Structure 1
Amino acid sequence: MAKINPGEFMRQVQAEARKVVWPTRQETTTTAIFVGIMMLILALFFLSVDTVFGAIVSWLLSLA
């Protein structure tokens, strides 16, 4: 790969940065709310799975 000078590198970086499409405030808010809801749902799911497996292990150990 050919080496380029720092000036050319900065021009390429600026050209790529101009291509970035930033989300609107509404899109950011909607995404943040969605992520929060999914995090809560997954936390409750894993809590329930952990509780069930913990109860099963406790029951199995009480048999011994």
Structure 2
Amino acid sequence: MARTNPLTFIAQVRAEVAKVVWPTRRETTITTIMVFIMAFFAATFFFIVDQIVKLGLNGILGIGG
């Protein structure tokens, strides 16, 4: 692999960083809200599945009166 001058490397990094398209505040807010909504739905889904499995196991094993 060829060696690169540190100054050339820094110039290349700056050029690549300039190409980055940063999200707007609105996009970041909407994405954050969507993550919280999806986390809520996933938690609810797994809670319901866990309760069904618990009910089934309690029924099969006869534990918990």
Q: TM-score, normalised by structure 1?
A: 0.89
Structure 2: how far apart are the matches of 1:55 and 1:28?
Answer: 40
- The match for 2:58 is 58
Counting only pairs closer than 5 Å after superposition, residues 9-48 of structure 1 correspond to structure 2 as: 9-48=9-48
Count of residues in Structure 1 that have an aligned counterpart in Structure 2: 63
- Tell me the C-alpha RMSD between the 2 structures: 1.3
Any stretches of 5+ residues in structure 2 without a counterpart?
Answer: none
Displaced runs of 4 or more, over 4 A: none
Greater RCO, CA 8 A, separation 6+: 2
Q: TM-score, normalised by structure 2?
A: 0.88
Any stretches of 5+ residues in structure 1 without a counterpart?
Answer: none
- Percent same amino acid among aligned pairs? 48
